[in-house]
Structure 1
């Protein structure tokens, strides 16, 4: 049972008891008024439950968007890092090639 259902039942119980006491003291039948108040309380409880569900859905959407954005940032940083590694590797290969051409390990002399 949700919190809103519990509140609705308690409100109906209190209103019913209060209506009975007023009817005893005044002789005026308030059972219809208590029923209307109970229905209104039920509508409020349902509205509150709907608001809570909407807030939960919106919050989950925000979490999902933040997760997606964070993953995109990680992917971009990984790609940039890999590009730097590839560039450094190519530069190292070029430097090794130049050094290899300048020094002849078979030269005697």
Structure 2
């Protein structure tokens, strides 16, 4: 994870493919930004927030760019704001990894 002035970039770990035909991702994550965060209203020690993700997707030869707002949370309790930001962005990365895993498409492989 690299910190910039306003943007924090999340590097997602790729899921491995198989030897017979790999996987192709249907979308790319361009950037992630923690929009806001604060204490949960009812659960003590839980911090909630929103991460805005910019996504680019190729579908049937058309490139579409859009944003996705993810609700994130962490049970970090009392901590420095940088630790809270790191925990919330890590939760967003886990959500995005799950989303990418669901959208992977197996490429057709020629019979050998």
**TM-score scaled to structure 1, two decimals?**
0.29
**TM-score scaled to structure 2, two decimals?**
0.28
Give the structure with the larger helix fraction.
1
Larger radius of gyration: 1
Return the structure number with greater relative CO, CA threshold 8 A, min gap 6.
2
